Structure 1
Amino acid sequence: MAEISNTDKPVLVLLHGWGVNQGVWHTLLPDIATGRRVLTLDIPGFGLARDTLQPYNFDTVVARLAEQIPDNSLVCGWSLGGLLAIALAERYPARVAQLALVAATPCFLQQAGWPGMKALVMQQFAESLQRNLAQTISRFLAIQAMGSLSAKSDAAALKQAIADYPQASVEALSAGLSFLSSQDLRQSFARLTQPVVGCFGALDSLVPAAVLPALQQLQPKAKFNVLAKASHAPFISHRPDFLAWLLGWLAATDQASA
Structure 2
Amino acid sequence: MGQTLRRLLAILLTLVAILAAGWLALRRPDIPFDTLEVAYANADSQFAVAGEHERIHYRVHGPPDAPALVLVHGFSASLHTWTPWVRRLESDYRIVTLDLPGHGLTRGFDPDEAGVDLFIESIHTIADTAGLETFTLAGSSMGGHAAWNYALEHPERLDGLVLIAASGWPRSQEEKQSRPLIFRLLENRFARAILRDLDMSSMIRSGLEDSFADPSRVTDAMVERYSALSRAPGHRETLLRLSTASTREPARQEQLARLDLPVLVMQGDRDNLVPPRHGQEFAGAIPDAELAWYENVGHLPHEEIPRRSAADLKGFLETRIVSQAAGDTAGDSPAAAGTGNGIQP
Indicate whether the TM-score tops 0.5: yes
User: Residues 178, 97 of structure 1: CA spacing in aligned structure 2 closer, same or farther, 3 A cutoff?
Assistant: farther
Instruction: Return the offset for 1:55.
Output: 4.8
2:255 equivalent to 1:255: no
Structure 2 residue ranges without an equivalent (≥5): 1-57, 327-345
> Is 1:221 aligned to 2:288, yes or no?
yes
User: Which residue in 1 is equivalent to 2:263?
Assistant: 196
Query: Are the equivalent residues in 2 in contact too, given 1:86–1:188 (CA < 8 A)?
Result: no
2:146 aligned to 84, 103, 106, which one?
84
Rounded to whole Å, the distance in 2 between the matches of 1:179 and 1:209 is 19
Does structure 1 conserve the Cα–Cα contact (< 8 Å) formed by 2:84 and 2:303? Answer: no
1:126 maps to 187
Deviates more, 1:170-179 or 1:70-79: 170-179
Shift of residue 71, structure 1, vs aligned partner: 3.0
Equivalent runs, 1:83-162 vs 2, <5 Å? 83-107=145-169, 109-111=170-172, 116-118=175-177, 122-127=183-188, 128-130=191-193, 131=195, 132=198, 134-135=200-201, 136-145=203-212, 148=213, 150-154=214-218, 158-159=222-223
Question: For 2:289 and 2:82, how far apart are their aligned partners in 1?
Answer: 24
Verify the 8 A CA contact 1:24 1:158 in the aligned structure 2. no
The count of aligned residue pairs is 252
TM-score with structure 1 length normalisation? 0.85
What residue in structure 2 maps to residue 60 of structure 1?
Answer: 118
Deviations 1:62-92 (A, max 9, x none): 2122221233111010001000001111112
Q: What amino acid is the match of 1:152?
A: S
CA change 1:120–1:241 in 2 (3 A) is: closer
Distance 1:79 1:180 in 2: 16
Quote the residue 2:237 is aligned against: 171
Q: Which structure shows the bigger proportion of residues in helix conformation? A: 2
- Which structure has the greater CA radius of gyration? 2
TM-score, structure 2 normalization = 0.65
> Structure 1: 5+ residue runs without aligned partners?
none
Aligned-residue identity in percent? 22
1:48 to 81, 97, 105: 105
- Aligned residue for 2:318, secondary structure, equals helix
State whether residues 13 and 38 of structure 1, in contact with CA within 8 Å, keep that contact through their aligned partners in structure 2. Answer: yes
TM-aligned CA deviation for residue 40 of structure 1: 0.7
Contact 2:265 2:282 in 1 (8 A): no
